[in-house]
Chain A
């Protein structure tokens, strides 16, 4: 074997050892750099995917176009009629708003983000979003949709972030059940199937299917209180505690737009 090859082999071994003993801090930076490399690829890939999807959606036969035109024409007439009636209501509404000093308010500062892709790994449920440090995103920020909690940010690069979903076994959320004093810990499964498990409940708890579950918002935790997590599908008592299976409030299988909670207003 030539000396060059031996030297290369030694260098390779040294590199492997360095990679194996590297600590959490440098690894997080390395992961952020890796996300930075992936960011333009994921964003352009997602744009291509969307345009291909839209192309399929936009293709219509002449008959379909005619039907669509007729439908829009009748909808237009209906909306014009409704619009005339709403003008008066708008004036009344503006007047009432000014009287009440009403302001549209949301409990949180939200940053909208587009989902770039779902992680293909088998045992981890994560997604990538098109917002990063340049938009004010940091790790451990809650991510929601208008329907409920999605997860939290775990790794952040300049233009892209990774979000661990609530269906992941590692994403644990303190939760409370609507209309009761029951609280538990909500988490996903090792091989996520889209359901959540609410554990450490009182084994005598009387949970009924359809009851809503919200984040409990423990002090020092990541998730604020009152965000919808899901609804109870079933409940069973175990030896020491009770466990409920939940249907997530947000549709985690087809996420396209999410909001990152950067703080309270």
Chain B
């Protein structure tokens, strides 16, 4: 029941985070954008038990896939395969990290958010290079990968403690407690 409540809360946060990240202004001087979806994903992947975390990862992959979907003349440039596989893989890795630290911790969540953001943007760039050809790696591309990852590192603790303040509704959801109590819940 408690896990279900947290799952529903995170489900609501999915479209909200996409809408909010689109409304946030670009960060000067590089005019890079902030991604909130990976930060919310990391929280869910670490706070939920394995099976709900995998379901959540599947939905995050679907949302991210639809957000970047471009259909030109009936041809899909990037389908849902990449985002779905990406988030499912990261969900398993984050579950293992959560097991190792016996529950979700804000430092691990922050580092996980930065890494997920960095690998997401970097992975998309590599796939686009493979699909469109060329490898225009320069300072702009580097900044486009690093600045959102750095932003995620800084924003993640805020999101973590904000969610923690909401999650007393579901006190045994693994927050600050051991994984065993999470699974028991």
Contacts and interface: CB of A to CB of B under 8 A. Distances in A.
B51 A5 contact: yes
A24 B140 contact: no
B75 A24 contact: yes
A49 B23 contact: yes
Interface stretch (A99-107, A121-129, A223-231, A242-250): A121-129
Contacts of A46: 23
Interface residues of A, number: 43
Interface string A186-197: 000111011000
A16 B121 contact: no
A120 B35 contact: yes
Main secondary structure of the interface of B (DSSP, over half): helix
A229 B54 CA distance: 46
Given A118-B26, A122-B125, A128-B22, A27 B80 contact: yes
Contact of B69 (A31, A49, A169, A191): A31
Interface in B67-95: 67-72, 74-77, 79-81, 84-85, 88
A9 interface: yes
A22 B22 contact: no
A41 B20 CA distance: 8
Given A5-B51, A38-B18, A118-B26, A190 B136 contact: yes
Interface in B152-171: none
Interface residues of B, number: 55
A31 B84 contact: no
Nearest to A253: B31
Q: Which of B16, B24, B70 has the most CB of A within 10 A?
A: B70
Interface stretch (B1-9, B55-63, B104-112): B55-63
Given A42-B23, A191-B141, A193-B140, A22 B80 contact: yes
A81 interface: no
Interface string A231-265: 00000000000000000000001000000000000
A34 B33 contact: no
Q: Which of A24, A46, A190 has the most CB of B within 10 A?
A: A190
B124 A122 contact: yes
A9 B124 CA distance: 27
